[in-house]
Amino acid sequence: MSNRDMTAPANLQLHAKGTGALRTQHPIYKDFLPPCNNACPAGENIQAWLGLAQNEQYEEAWQKLVEENPLPGVHGRVCYHPCESACNRTAIDSPVSIHAIERFLGDKALEEKWGISFNQHKSGKRVLVIGGGPSGLSAAYHLTRAGHEVEIYEAGPMLGGMLHFGIPAYRLPRQVLDAEIQRIVDMGIKVRFNYKVSDIAKEKLDGNFDAVFIAIGAGLAKKIDIPGQAAAKMLDAVSFLHDVETGNAPKLGRKVAIYGGGNTAMDAARTAKRLGAEAFIIYRRDREHMPAHDFEAEEALTEGVKINWLRTIKNIDDTSFTVEIMEIKDGKLTATGMYETLEADALIMALGQDTDTNFLTKLSGIQFKQDGTVEVDATMMTGHVGVFAGGDMVPSERTVTIAVGHGKKAAKNIDAYLKATTINKVPKHDIVGFEKLHVWYKTLAPQQEQEMRAAEERANNFEEVLGGLSAKEALYEAQRCLSCGNCFECDGCYGSCPEGAILKLGKGNRYEYDYNKCTGCAVCFEQCPCHAIEMVNEMAVVSDKVMEGIY
C-alpha cells in the first residue's frame, strides 16, 4: 500500500503492434489518496498500517501508526474518528472500525512493551514546549524524533492536560494514558512540573532554547451572568472534572443540574451520576443542534442522565431555577415566553472554555483573535519569530486529534526553521471516492461492534465503559479495508489481461505494462477493485509529447 506514484514510462509506444485497430487509450498504474487518510486530523497513513494489520504484522502496523501519532491507545478511545465518516466501505455495509483497530494496536504495544523505533541522532538544537497536553506532547515527540533536545514546562503536577483533567477515566483509563505518556518521555524528553511560564522571552534566553512551542490549552471556563447566581452553589465543569480527577470531588447534593450541550456537559453529568447524584442537563437547543456528539448524549441518557432540551436559565433562587422554554422556527432559536421551575442542589456550568493567553501580551508581534486565541501562520508560527503555537489556544476545532495534529505540524515546521529551510509541500494525490471503485466482491461483512458494559453496571463506577476488540476481531475488521486508490497486488489485472501485457515485479513491487502488447482494451481498469489503474487518452499523450519536442 505504498504511496509511490506509478506512471507510464517515457518511451511509451503509441499503439500496439498487430493488424487490429490503433489503440486510442492505454492504462497506467497510479496511486490515489484514500478518504480515511485525507480525513485524519493527525495525518495518519491509516491505509498503510491497516494493510500491515491485515497480514497480522501488528508490531510493524503499530510502528507505522506511531510515525504520525504517538498516542494510539488514547486516540483509539477518545478520537471521534472522522476517518470512519469518510470511509468508502459505508456504501457497502458499514465503515471499517478504524478507531477500534487503533486501540487494539495501542493496547497490544503496551502489553508487549514495544519500543518506538527512530534514529536517535542529535541536532544540537534545543526547543522549549510550554504545556504538556496532547499538542505539547505531540510536538515534543516529533521534535525528539527529528533529533532536537526538548524540554516541557508544565504548570500542573502531571502531563496530559485535558486528557487527564477533561476526559473521565470511564472513557480513558489512566493506566493507558500514563503508559503512553511515559513512553514519550522515555525518549529523552526533560519535564519541569508545577512551573507556570510568565515571560517567554526570558525563559528562551535563560534556557538557551532555539525555538518555543506554546500549547497551553483552554482551561478557563466561560462565564455568563444569570440573575441570582450568587445565591446558588455553582461550579464550572472544567474545575469539577479536575477536582474529581485529583481526588477532591466536591459535595454536590442529591440533584445536580448541568448547563450546556457539549461533550464536556455530557462528561460532567455522567461523572456527577457516578458520584451518586441525580444529574440532569439544561440545554437551550434541541438534540439535532447540540454540539455534543450524538453517541455521547445517547450514552448519557442510557445511564439515567435526563436532558431538558430547549431550555434557557433565566433566574436562580438558591435551589430553584427558572427556565424559559425555547423553540426553533425556520432554523432560528426563539423564546416562547413560557417558563417552568427546576430544582437542583448545585449547578455545573459547561458552556465552553477559554485560553489564558494574557502572559503572551509581553511578547512582541503576537496577534490575538477576539476570543483570545492566538493567530498563527501556515507554519504554526506566531507573529514573534521562533515562537510557535497550537492546540486549543489557536483558532480551530477543539479535539484531541486536532491538537495532536497541530503538534506534529508545528514540529515539522520548527525543524525546518532550525535548519533554515522551508517545507516543500508535495501535492496530494486525488481522493478516490466509492464511485471510482470497481468492487466485485460485495459480500456483506458488517462492522465488528465493541462490547459496551450494561448501563446499570457502568453508571456507578469509573471503570472503562467500552470494551476492545480481540485479536481475531481486530484482524477481521482490518481485512474489511478496501485499499481505496492503492494497489494491494490482488493479481486481478494480471489475470484478466487477454494479451499478457502485464508483468509481475515480485511481492511488494507491484506490476508494470508491456505497451508493445497492450491494446488498451481497459479490462484491467474495469476489474481493478481499488481504482489503482487509470486509462489515459492516447491523443492527449501524443499532444504532450509534441509540446515537449519528443515527437
User: What are φ and ψ of residue 111, in 5° steps?
Assistant: -65, -40
Nearest one of 77, 78, 95 to 86, comparing CA atoms? 95
Spans of the chain below 70 pLDDT: 1-21, 231, 441-442, 540-551
Do 126-219+355-418 and 222-348 agree at the fold level? Answer: yes
Would you say how long the chain is, in residues?
551
3-state secondary structure 359-376: HHHHCCCCCECCCCCECC
pLDDT value of position 18: 46
Q: Name every residue whose Cβ is closer than 8 Å to that of residue 176 and which is 6 or more positions away in sequence.
A: 73, 74, 77, 106, 107, 110
pLDDT value of position 21: 59
- The CATH superfamily of 222-348 is FAD/NAD(P)-binding domain (3.50.50.60)
Domain 1-31+486-551 belongs in CATH node 3.40.1360.10: no
pTM of this structure: 0.90
Q: Domain extents for the chain? A: 1-31+486-551, 39-116+454-478, 126-219+355-418, 222-348
pLDDT value of position 22: 77
Q: What is the C-alpha to C-alpha distance for residues 470 and 296, in angstroms, rounded to an integer? A: 24
| Assigned CATH for 126-219+355-418 | 3.50.50.60
Cβ 257 vs Cβ 280: under 8 Å: yes
pLDDT tens profile 378-388: 999 999 999 99
Q: What is the C-alpha to C-alpha distance for residues 270 and 253, in angstroms, rounded to an integer? A: 15
pLDDT value of position 331: 86
Q: Containing H/E element for 282?
A: strand 278-282
Q: What is the C-alpha to C-alpha distance for residues 170 and 462, in angstroms, rounded to an integer? A: 5
120: its cell numbers = 536517535
Q: Which residues pair with 278 in a beta bridge?
A: 255
* CA separation, residue 168 to residues 77, 78, 266 (Å): 12, 10, 11
